Structure formats: C-alpha cells, structure tokens
Structure 1
Amino acid sequence: MDPPTKSWSIHTRPEITTKYSIFTHIGSGTYSDVYSGRRLSDGTPVALKEIHDHQSASREITALRILRGSENVVFMHEFFWREDEDAVIVLEFLKSDLGTVIRDGFGGGEVKGWMMQIVSGVYDCHRNGIVHRDLKPENFLVSENGVLKIADFGQARILVKSGFDATNHGSSSHSQHPHDVIPLSDNANQTGYENQDEEERMTHDEYFRVLDELKIQSHTYDTDDKDTNTHDGNNSCRATCTTSDDDDDAWKNSLPYEANEERDEKLDGFLTSCVGTRWFRAPELLYGSTNYGLEVDLWSLGCVFAELLTLKPLFPGTGDIDQISRIISVLGNLDEEAWSGCSKLPDYARISFNKVENPIGLDACMPNCLQDEVSLVKRLLCYDPAQRATAAELLHDKYFSEEQLPVPISQLRVPST
C-alpha cells in the first residue's frame, strides 16, 4: 500500500511556525517526517514529528497523553491536529538511543542501570493498559544525562481508559475507544513503584485473568481497528522517531511488517498479528495470533535484554519462517507440551518443522553471561505467554537488588550522538 500523498508542508503552518523554529529534516518513515527545531519562547530543543496516518497519530497522541507523567517515556510538549491536516507532535529532543549504547558497549553495572529504566518504562505502559507492540533498542531513547525513554507509540494499543493499574487487582476498568482523546488522570501520572505493598502485587493467574478481560473488552469496542501496519521502518532512532538512510543496511532485516490489508479487513476488531519488528516479535504473533495483550511486550523485552547482555541480536531472522526456526532451534519445539493451547494458533497447522532433538538453549546463546542474567531472560522468553514475568515482577526481581548493583543514572555513559 502506497503512503498517502502529502498535501502540505510543516513549514506552511503558522500555528506551528509562530511557536517553533524548524531547522532540518532529520528522518522519514512510511507515514512520518521528523524535523529538528527549537521553541521560540525559551530556546528548548524539540523534535517535530509530522504523521501522515490518522490511526498512527491517534495512537501515539493518546498514549503519550496518558503516560505524560512517566520519567521513562518520551515527553510530548504539545500537538497540532486539525480535521483536514496531518498531526504534528512536538517531542523532547534526545540525541541517542539504546541501539547506539549497545554498539558502543558498557560494563556490568551499567547494563542493570539501563535494564532498570527499561522495565520502569514498560511498567508504566502496562499499568495503564497500554501495549507498545514494537519494543526494540532503537525505540528506547537516551537523554544526555542518561535517562532512558520509550518512544514511538504509533503501533501502540490502549486496552483500557487512563488510570487503570494492571498491578492492582482491585482496580475496575472500562474499555474506551483508542481514537478518543483520553484526559489525563491523577493515577496516570503516578510512576513510582517503591511503595507498592507486598499484598497488592498480583499473582500470575490474577494478572493474566485481568489481561484476558481487557482483551475481551478491547475486541468489543475496537471494531474499526484494521491495523494496516504500513508503519515507519526503524522509526524512532535518536529521539526523532525516525531512522536515517545510514542505518538501512544494518537494520534491513528487522523492519516492521506491512500487513496484508485485505486480511486485516476481516479481523473485525481483533488485534492484528502483523505488528512489531521481526527480531523482537513474540511466537504467537509469528503464528498469526490476534488474541494477545501486554505479554507480547514481555517477549520483546527478553530479546532486548539478551541483546544488552551479549551485544548482538538473539534471533536475527531474515523472514517469518526463518524467525520461527531460529526461536525453535534455541528454545525447542513449540508443541502442546511446551505451551498448552499453542495448536489453536491460526497458522500453527500451516507451519511445521522437523523435531529438534537437542535445542541450543539460551545458556549457549549467552556464554559469557552470569547465570542470574540468563535466568532473567528465560523468565521472559517463554512460549506460554502466561508464564512470562510481568514488568511489575521484574521491578522487584532480586537481580536488581544484588551485587553488582545498577549504576546510578548520572554515571551511565551516554554516546555523544
């Protein structure tokens, strides 16, 4: 599907140009262009993201409004959007991302410092019923002072209204259309987790029971979500939510999918499986599941952690089948013994592999890592989504409280570009 024709330029809009100086075009995606700029009132550097797709714009704006109080989510200053014009989101400008951090390398305590911030950001998303659906190193941006922030919510889905706390089983929830503008609530701005009482934490069964309820509600209300998924390629590098041409070769095999539009038209309200970036996609998505929730982010988190610890991608598949094959070669056969119910996945009967007698195992893929590090990744890279460690559980994992402790944010080494 060809991207829509651009009918105007960001430079021609007086409501924007009277407030911001627009400098250079710093990146493009299928449905967006990003410019560096500066706020005229106080000189604050900004990134202006012009989004040419209504659905992507709506998702990103809604998610960023809900998550406005999160320290580990990119900050949206404001947005401009009229009925006959594309949306322009004004974001804080950040010069680096986690992919650049990985390429530069770092020490043991530093990896925990990055991980802790990643989990905190994902926790904020999930406690508000937001599934990001495209977590990868390039979508974690890094400020000059070492603060990591999740960006690019163009593929995100808001499963419930703002204020839902997935870590509190006593919370009530009411589904809301994701394209509605959802006002911020006090609860949506609460990002702290240190004072969470032990008895308030959910068990695995309780957590996923709530998620199942959210998915049912989402399917009931989200009847117009077709997820055409012609989204930006590798689209949030360096806080601009885009990538440059220089990165094409390095990431040409890890771009988001463009879904079959005719197939998506038949989903009739269910989530599409053609979402996210291949190297970080959960197995249920690769097998065509349209009945999933926050747990797909948890798989992506496991892949990101493995890359942080080994400095290389864990499952760099060149296509869907190769991606599944790589996962099976490491984790073993995907069958009813590994995940009860997997045979009901839409494409399970259509994709078959020879039985793997001796899977490689995550330990062999992470040879120079400590056992605690491998165990943490194993808790996320489970075939059964219900067995994956939640973000709330990870925040209290002993891995982060035992030696070597996470390096303080102020001491994290940040790449210069």
Structure 2
Amino acid sequence: MEKYDNLGMVGEGSYGMVIKCRNRETGQIVAIKKFLDSEEDKVVKKIAAREIKMLKQLRHDNLVNLLEVFRRKKRLYLVFEFVDHTVLEDLENNPKGINETTTKKTLFQVLRGIEFCHVHNIIHRDIKPENVLVSQNGVVKLCDFGFARTLAAPGEVYTDYVATRWYRAPELLVGDTKYGRAVDIWAIGCLAAEMLTGDPLFPGDSDIDQLHHVVRCLGNLNEKYEHIFQQNPLFAGMRLPVARELVPLDRRLPNVAKLTMTFIKSCLRLDANDRPTSSALLRSEYFMRDGFSSQFLDELKSLIQRESERTGGALSHRMTNKTATHELIKANTTVSDVASVASSDAKASGQMTTVATTTTTTNIGNALISTVINTNSDARQMPPLQSKLFEDKPKPAAVKFQAEKKSNEESKEVFAFILNLFSWKQLLTTEVLSSDV
C-alpha cells in the first residue's frame, strides 16, 4: 500500500473491504479490494483466485478493470479502476425508483457486459444493484466476479448456493445444480423491476419464503423443479409453496411502460429454457425501437472515451497473467489452490488444463505454474465487438510456447514433460506462466 494514499473505505463484505485510494505517482483514483485472512481461509483464497482468473480473461468496457494485484502482511489486495457509485446508491437516493431512460441505458450496458461473459462461457451468478457500478458519465461496469465461473460441461454440476437470495432464479432456489446462463437473465429481470420501483421485486427472508414470493407473482413451478425440490435434503419435511391467489407483475408494476414490462416478463420466465439469451435481449424491441440501440452505442463510445481521459487512461492498463500468478504464489495461495480453480473451470467448459510445479530447497517460493488450455475458439468465431480481445494472441495455426528460460534443471524437465505430453496439434492456445519470487 506504500504507493497509495487511503481516501477511506467505500464498502465492506463477508470476505473483505473496498478502499478508495490515490496512486501517489500518477494521481489516479483506484478502488482496492482487501481480502480478509487470505492466507488462512481457504474459501477466501478460492474466491480471490477465481476473481483474478476471471478478470484476466474478461476485458470489456462494461466490466470492471483489474489493474494490479499485490500482497501485504499475508493479505491479498486487488486494485481496480475506481467507479463513482453503484445502482444501489442510486436507489437509496431515489426511493421511488429510477426513471425509464436511465434504467434502459443501465440495463443495456449490463447486458453488453453479460453477453461478453456468456460468449466466453462464463456466468456471473451474483448480479444485484451493489454489483453494478456507474461512473460520473453514466458508464456502467459489472463488478465482483468472486462467484463467477465457467459453464459446466454436460453432466457437470455446480454448487447451488450462489447469488444473493432476492435475485436467485427458481432453479437455484430449489437446488438445481445443472443451471446455466439463464440465472443471470433472471437476476437482470429482478434488477430492472427494482430500478423502476425502488423496491426489491422478491424480498424473501429464506429460500422457502423466496419461492413463495416468486410463485405468488408468476405462478407454480414446473414438475422438474418440484421434483428437484422434493429430492433436496435441505427441504426435507417442507412443502413447495403453491400459488392460491396471484399478484401478477402487471399489478406489482402498474406504472411500467408496456414494452418495458414485456422485457421484464421475458427475463422472469419460470422455466430457465424459456428465458431469452443476453444477445436476444439486446436485439429485442425494448432496445431497438426508435433507434435507441444504435444511437446509445454512439453516445456510449463518446462517454467511454471521456471517462478514459478523465481517469488518466485507466482502461489502457493491463495486468499480465504473470503478475497475477506471481502475487497468488507470494500470498501463500498454494499452487494446488490455483490449480483447483483453473482445472475445475477448464474441465467444466471442455478445456484441457495441466498445472506443473517445481520447487527448490533454497526457495520454496520459486514455483512454476504452467497452464495449457484448449479453448476451442478464436477471434474469427467471436462477434466483432469481442474479437479485439484476441487480436494480440497467437493464431491457432501458429501456436508458440512462450516461456522464460530457466537455468535450473528442474524447470527444463517440467517443460520437456509438457511438450512431450501435448503435441502442438492438440492445442489451440497455449500460455506458460512463470515467475521468480
């Protein structure tokens, strides 16, 4: 923290706090997430490792930008660009709700960020007002990727305990462990309704109460969810709430415009398979009517440029894979901790991950983490807005092993092992990360 001036705490949660700081050299204002007990707590280490891993992959104008990672006194610190406030603060300042135009612009940007995540097979799993940041110029950035993860392959399961309860989709509430992108779409529907009214749409105080709120508004759950509920040991002896008298969305949101209501209803379809994708929502009439989408995209480009100039070009900063890996090792986040996050996510998305480590007796911190990933995608398969992310990466036909040459023989043996195990024909993208502590 030596190069930062502490300007005060801006938020606090179960796993740490966020501090507003100023870089003494550049004057740049940043937000620093300080993880609590990152050395002793395995849960905190896993969340930190996952957030770093996700944010290294995801670079988009509507996703918060990770600038730096460092460690002090056994705690891990993540340095982000500072964004002025959250949608939650907007709601606190506007208890009767936010106007339709501002809401639409916010939702459009949230969906752009989520579309980018979904294209890259990542689900956020914790969309809520406090995780939607808004700059002074109105640029929206989704933050807090500590619970995000790669989509599962067929047959894989997730933990069901994700997302703040009020924004959890029905499949999460009953305990379905084979959910997907649709959980983010549901949360966006809840976010939209809350922004327009000032009140949470489904403010349950337990999972059962949450289900009661949902079915009372939208109707009874289908047989699949009922079966999952009955098989869930957490609900042993309980009955799935049944709607006897509906209070539909039209009555809950009487002053919402018809087109906006259609958008919200589509996000809040009970069956996950019936919910539209983020891409479909961006192309929906809600955003396309009267040229809103094209006009606002032009406006957004200008806002982002202005924001970049105001913050001293924060968006141009990039944290390298080596930096992040280096700091995780220094923080005593063991190689196996990082490997478990990388390998579980890679396995879930059909990727291939190998983690090899070497240590010397004189310096146990001299660990080499090598990650070999087959992504099954390249820039040519990405939509135009996303392809920029991959421009600087080697094309699949010209894969190169980019590694620092190590002087010790152990490192050479590890490289030889990896090269023999995986031929270049099997790999589409290869990164070998190495660092000396």
**TM-score, length of structure 1 as denominator length:** 0.63
Asked whether 1:96 is paired with 2:88, we answer no
Equivalent residue number for residue 258 of structure 1: none
SS of structure 2 residue aligned to 1:296:
helix
**2 CA distance for matches of 1:399 and 1:126?**
21
Q: Deviations over 1:85-133 (max 9, x none)?
A: 3321100112211122234244332221111111111111111111111
Q: Check whether the contact 2:98–2:198 (CA below 8 A) recurs between aligned residues.
A: no
Whole-angstrom CA distance in 1 between matches of 2:186 and 2:241: 24
Alignment of 1:51-66 (within 5 A): 51=35, 52=38, 53-66=44-57
Query: Which residue number corresponds to residue 153 of structure 1?
Result: 145
Q: Report the CA distance shift for 1:288/1:344 in structure 2 as closer, same or farther (over 3 A).
A: closer
- Provide the residue aligned with 1:10 in structure 2: none
Q: In structure 1, list runs of 5 or more residues that go unmatched.
A: 1-15, 160-213, 220-269, 412-417
1:50 is aligned to 2:34: yes
Q: Deviations over 1:281-325 (max 9, x none)?
A: 111111112221222111111101111222221101121111110
The secondary structure found in structure 2 opposite 1:215 is coil
Q: Secondary structure at the match of 2:201?
A: coil
Aligned length: 287
Q: Match of 1:75, as an amino acid?
A: N
The correspondence for 2:24, drawn from 36, 40, 47, is: 40
Between stretches 320-329 and 341-350, larger displacement belongs to 341-350
Tell me what 1:29 maps to. Answer: 13
Q: Which deviations, in whole Å up to 9, do the C-alpha atoms of 1:123-171 show, x marking residues without a partner?
A: 1111111111110011000111110000111111123xxxxxxxxxxxx
Matched letter for residue 302 of structure 1: G
* Counterpart secondary structure, 1:322: helix
| Structure 2 counterpart of 1:330 | 217
Q: Which residue of 1 aligns with 2:352?
A: none
Identity %: 37
The aligned runs of 1:224-235 (5 Å cut-off) are none
Question: What one-letter code is carried by the residue in structure 2 that aligns with 1:277?
Answer: T
1:317–1:344 Cα change, 3 Å: closer
TM-score using structure 2 length: 0.61
Q: Secondary structure at the match of 2:289?
A: coil
Equivalent of residue 74 in structure 1, options 59, 64, 67? 64
Deviations for 1:311-347, whole angstroms, at most 9, x for unmatched residues? 22110112111111010101111133xxx56423443
Q: In structure 2, which of residues 225, 236, 239 is the aligned counterpart of residue 352 of structure 1? A: 239
Alpha-carbon distance in 1 for matches of 2:10, 2:243: 46
| 1:210-249 → structure 2 map (5 Å cutoff) | 214-216=152-154, 219=156
8 Å contact kept, 2:98–2:197: no
Mapped partners of 1:354, 1:319: distance in 2: 12
What is the deviation of 1:403? 4.0
Alpha-carbon contact 2:158-2:178 (below 8 Å) kept: yes
Whether 2:117 is the aligned partner of 1:133: answer no
Give unpaired runs (5+ residues) of structure 2: 39-43, 304-437
Counterparts of 1:272-351 in structure 2 under 5 Å?
A: 272-336=159-223, 340=224, 342-345=226-229, 346-347=231-232, 351=238
Deviates more, 1:149-158 or 1:347-356: 347-356
> Does the aligned pair in 1 maintain the 2:113–2:142 contact within 8 Å?
yes
> Which of 130, 135, 140 is the equivalent residue of 1:143?
135
Aligned alpha-carbon RMSD (Å)? 2.6
The structure with the largest alpha-carbon Rg is 2
Q: Tell me which residue corresponds to 2:74.
A: 85
Flag the 1:382–1:350 CA change in 2: closer, same or farther, 3 A: farther
CA separation in 1, counterparts of 2:134 and 2:147? 20
Does the aligned pair in 1 maintain the 2:126–2:147 contact within 8 Å? yes
Question: Structure 1 pair 355/28, CA: closer, same or farther in 2 (3 Å)?
Answer: closer
Q: 1:216, 1:349 → 2: CA distance?
A: 28
Query: Is the contact made by 1:215 and 1:291 (CA closer than 8 Å) also made in structure 2?
Result: no
Residue 350 and residue 328 in structure 1: after superposition, are their counterparts in 2 closer, same or farther (change >3 A)? farther
Structure 2 CA distance for partners of 1:380 and 1:64, relative to 1, 3 Å: same
| Alpha-carbon contact 1:24-1:37 (below 8 Å) kept | yes
Q: Greater RCO between the two (CA within 8 Å, min separation 6)?
A: 1
The alignment partner of 1:401 has SS state of helix
**Are residues 350 and 370 of structure 1, via their aligned partners in 2, closer, same or farther at CA, if it must alter by over 3 Å?**
farther
Question: By how many angstroms is 1:81 displaced?
Answer: 4.9
Does 2:364 match 1:375?
no
Which amino acid in 2 is paired with 1:57? A
